[in-house]
Structures are given as C-alpha cells and as structure tokens.
C-alpha cells in the first residue's frame, strides 16, 4: 500500500509537471506574427543619406539599407499631416478631406474619426501598439489623440514642430504652449529637458525592454521630430561638420548624424531584448527636404511642400531578417498608403472591403522582387489652391481646370496642373561659399512663366527637365480624364478657421484638446449642477439664506 501511494503521488506530480510545461510552452511559444517597427523621420531630403551620395555620414542607415531592400521608387506626400494621414489610413487625402495644407494647431480639425487606423487594425490582430514622437494629426478633442486612435501608449508631441529641448511651440503672438505628452496628459514629470531625438529613442528602448517579444507581437511607431526646423542639435555632433561653411547645412547634417546614432541604439536594443530575428523595420521620410533649412533633394527638382519629385520622392528602405531577397533595390512603384495593407496583412490582420483603401499590399514586390500591384499614384487634388493665373478649362482641353493644383502618376508618366510649388533644382554648391557657376544658374526655372500643365516621363527623366505636354497631348488628355475620375470620388475639404479657444493659456499653458461638442458640454453641465446641488444640500438653512 505504501508503494502504491508513493507511485500515485509520483504520477500526480509528473502529470502536473507535464501540464505546466505544456501550458508554459504554449504561452511562451514565439508568435508567427512579426514585430513591426516603423520609423518616420521629418523633412529628410532625398540626398541626405550616405547611400544617395551625401556628405552627411549615416553609417547605420547605410548598413541597414544595404542589408535590406532600398526603395528607389518610393513616394510620400509633400507635407507632414498629409503623409501621416495616408500612413495611418491607407487612403488618399481626397478620401479623408485633408487635401489642403496641414492640420494646424489652432484648427478644430483632426484625422476624421470614421477612418480606421493602422494601429487599430494591428491591435485587432493581437498586437501591442505604441507610438513615440510626433503625431500632427490633430488634437482639438480627446477622440483625436493617439491613444484614442489605436495606440496602447503614446509619448511625444501633438504639433508639427517645436523646440527640441523645452518642447514649447508658438503659433503666433500670445499663442504659446507646452507640447510633450504621456498618454493623454502633459508629460511635465517625464521632461528632463532632453534633446527630443535622444528622449524619443530612450522611450522607445524602454518600451522594448518592458515588453515580452515571445508573448505578444509589438507595433512600434517611432515618429522623430528630427530633422524638421528649428535647427537644434547637441554641440558634439557639430564637430564632425566643421568643413561645411553654410551654417544651416552644418546644423542639419549634425541633426541627421544624431538621428543615425539613435537608430543604431534602437537596433542594438531590438537585438538585446530578443526582437530582431522576427522584426520588420520600415524607414521613411515624411516628405522632401527644405533647402532653406539645410535639406537637399539634389538631383531632384523642387523641395518640401511641392509636387515636384524633390517634394514627394522619399528616402525609404525595409530591413528585416524575414526578407527573401536581402541586399537589393526595389524599383517598383511604392506609396506611403501601401504600408497600411502591407503591414496589416503581414501582421495576419484582416482587411475589410468597407475600408475603401487606396493602398496595395506590396510585401512581395519588396521582399521577393515581384511586380508591384501599384501602377499609379494620385499625388493629390487640392481644390482650394487655385492660384495658377494661366490655368483654365481651355488649357485642360475642357476636361480639367488647370488652375487647380493637382498631380498624378500613371506608369512612367507624371502630370502636374496648377502651381506645383517652388520648382528650382538646388545643387550641393548652394550650401558652400563658392559662387555658383553659370551652368547652375541657367538651370533655375520659375513657375510663373505661364505654364499650368506639365507632363514628364519620370522613368526616362527623373529630374523633370523636359516637359512633354505639348509633344504628347493624347497622353495629357488621358491623364486629365483620370484626374477628373478621381475627383468624382473626393469628399469635401476639411480646413476650418482658427478657433481662439485653442490658445494654451486657456488650457494650463499646454497645447491640448479644447473642443467640446453639445453632448460633452451637456454632460459637463450636469456634473457641475449635481456637484452644486450636493454641495448646497449639505449647507444649513441659515447658510443658504445668507447666500
């Protein structure tokens, strides 16, 4: 009997052990879903990376890109909010109402709440979703904030720019406020006056350190403030660029180097904490560089805020052990809207038909070199920007009013109408003290010479030097028809007037939500009335009479 009891206890212990091991292994079993780290940098010019021939040293970006897939036919939007809105929704601006300019801090405007976002879809697929850095998609009411749009956590800024150390931003006289958030509250306690590139990187690494990569897939959206103006950088990075005489370019170069070092530290953390082997890293600029603030898009034409290639053709690459063809270049057409379906599919999420996406799943084009499903890009149609003096329906063959600012890419062809923006080519010599040669001066072309329509073969002429609109009117007409077809699907533009209630002085000195709709105001009134009634109920009759 003693032997039997001993055997029974042994069997029970053994069974419990095997049960524990089974569930433990199941619980810690590596997920087949990859971790996704999306790095979006601000205002980095096409030339401002080492592998595009820059004098700026970017050893980390060069290495990651060389070991991954360089996106050499990759497009974004020419400004901050438009690119971010399309990344988050996979939809063109004409389908979200954000066709015009950017979302300004004083406007009661944000990414429309009816749009499903990338983090929301990844969260549905089981991801832990985190955002660090610049939001710039509106904040006038709480429903617009990152943590209300699919992110489990948020640490960063709500506006488009600000001081890199103090995190203050002025939108005009008497309109200044603090802009650093943890979740949905100002991050006063977390603020140590750190340079934002360093601060955001440390926060991202902290998120990696406190998450178990074997238990749950992670989506980290790291949207750096750098290298947007103001041009600020720790002094030690400036030492490397003493040879650059132009002060703006020197500071800008130092900011890029600091960014490169930050991404090096982030990559080390991905390896240290066990993420790297099952991670997809996407690197992208949000728009072209601004030469007036030290950026360079050479040899492309134009700059940030324009629809020339220098404004919309971006630095981008994918780095991952999961890529099939590493060390390659993807020359297929890829647009920032494509990341939504690509990453949701990669993360084993679902894409419902009612999402009405404009993006395509381009993972096989990037990873395996297969043909891209994307054949065209609507760069934008801005019906508010109609400043082209010579634009008309006649110039558009009765098919399109060429006063409207618009841009469309179909295959090799690119069509522009209206005023695409500053159109010069800005060579590297611009940033030196040397006098420009006549050859470069002769290349300067102004937009006000009478044109309101241009056609380029971008494959043959990526620098947009030869306008073919007069030579191929039949192609122009086809593309104008396509523009008109797109325009029929456009929703009304959302670009409300300034709201004085947005002033941080009414919000404790902080930029943050200020708008309340009727329901919210009614609820607040009821809470106040209840509080007042309860307070009065505790007062004596004498006290009430004295009141």
Q: Active-site positions?
A: 80, 136
Cβ neighbours for 1, distance < 8 A, ≥ 6 positions apart: none
* Angstrom distance (rounded) from CA 158 to CA 135: 5
Contact 5, 11 (CB under 8 A): no
Residues in the chain: 547
What does the block give as tokens for 31?
Answer: 């997920």
Residue at token pair 């009727």: 518
Sequence-ordered strand ranges (E) for 383-482: 405-410, 413-417, 453-457
For helices 196-209 and 247-272, give the axis angle rounded to 10 degrees: 10
Residues paired with 71 in a beta bridge: 330
* Angstrom distance (rounded) from CA 154 to CA 510: 16
3-state SS assignment for residue 318: strand
Nearest to 487 by CA among 78, 82, 112, 95: 95
Sequence-ordered strand ranges (E) for 261-302: 279-285
Nearest to 512 by CA among 122, 200, 142: 142
Nearest to 401 by CA among 410, 420, 388, 413: 388
Nearest to 279 by CA among 287, 290, 269: 269
Render the burial of 321-340: b for 16+ CB within 10 Å, e for the rest. Answer: eebeeeebebebbbbbbbbb
Dihedral sign (CA 411, 416, 417, 420): positive
């Amino acid at each position: 009997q003693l032997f039997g009891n001993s055997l029974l206890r042994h069997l029970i212990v053994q069974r419990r052990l095997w049960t524990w091991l089974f569930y433990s292994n199941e619980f810690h079993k590596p997920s087949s879903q990859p971790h996704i780290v999306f790095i979006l940098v601000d205002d980095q010019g096409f030339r401002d990376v080492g592998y595009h021939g820059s004098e700026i040293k970017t050893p980390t970006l060069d290495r990651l890109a060389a070991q991954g897939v360089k996106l050499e036919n990759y497009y974004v939007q020419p400004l901050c909010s438009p690119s971010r809105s399309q990344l988050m929704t996979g939809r063109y601006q004409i389908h979200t109402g954000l066709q015009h300019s950017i979302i300004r801090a004083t406007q009661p405007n944000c990414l429309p709440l009816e749009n499903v976002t990338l983090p929301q879809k990844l969260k549905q697929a089981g991801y832990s979703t985190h955002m660090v850095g610049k939001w710039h998609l509106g904040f006038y009411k709480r429903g617009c904030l990152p943590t209300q749009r699919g992110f489990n956590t948020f640490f960063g800024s709500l506006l488009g720019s600000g001081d890199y150390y103090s995190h203050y931003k002025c939108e005009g006289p008497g309109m200044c406020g603090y802009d650093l958030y943890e979740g949905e509250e100002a991050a006063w306690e977390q603020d140590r006056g750190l340079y934002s590139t360093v601060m955001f990187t440390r926060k991202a690494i902290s998120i990696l350190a406190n998450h178990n990569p074997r238990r749950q897939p992670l989506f980290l959206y790291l949207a750096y403030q750098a290298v947007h103006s103001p041009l600020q950088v720790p002094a030690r990075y400036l030492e490397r660029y003493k040879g650059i005489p132009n002060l703006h370019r020197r500071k800008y170069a130092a900011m890029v180097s600091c960014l490169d070092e930050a991404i090096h530290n982030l990559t080390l953390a991905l390896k240290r904490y066990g993420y790297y082997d099952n991670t997809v890293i996407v690197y992208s600029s949000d728009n072209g560089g601004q030469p007036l603030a030290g950026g360079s898009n050479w040899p492309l034409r134009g700059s940030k805020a324009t629809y020339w290639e220098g404004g919309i053709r971006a630095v981008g690459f994918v780095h991952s052990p999961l890529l099939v063809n590493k060390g390659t270049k993807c020359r297929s057409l890829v647009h920032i809207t494509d990341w939504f379906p690509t990453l949701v599919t990669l993360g084993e999420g679902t894409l419902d038909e009612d999402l009405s996406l404009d993006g395509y799943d381009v993972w096989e084009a990037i990873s395996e070199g297969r043909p891209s499903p994307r054949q065209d890009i609507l760069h934008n149609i801005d019906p508010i920007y109609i400043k082209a003096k010579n634009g008309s329906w006649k110039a558009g063959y009765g098919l399109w009013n060429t006063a409207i600012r618009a841009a469309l890419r179909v295959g090799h062809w690119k069509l522009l109408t209206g005023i695409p923006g500053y159109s010069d080519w800005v060579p590297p010599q611009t940033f030196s003290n040397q006098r420009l040669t006549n050859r470069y001066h002769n290349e300067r072309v102004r937009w006000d010479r009478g044109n309101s329509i241009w056609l380029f073969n971008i494959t043959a002429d990526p620098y947009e030097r030869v306008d073919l609109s007069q030579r191929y009117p039949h192609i122009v007409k086809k593309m104008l028809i396509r523009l008109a077809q797109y325009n029929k699907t456009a929703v009304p533009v959302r670009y409300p007037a300034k709201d004085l209630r947005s002033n941080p002085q009414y919000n404790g000195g902080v930029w943050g939500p200020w708008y309340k709709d009727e329901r919210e105001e009614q609820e607040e009134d009821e809470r106040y009335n209840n509080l007042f009634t309860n307070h009065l109920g505790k007062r004596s009759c004498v006290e009430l009479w004295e009141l």
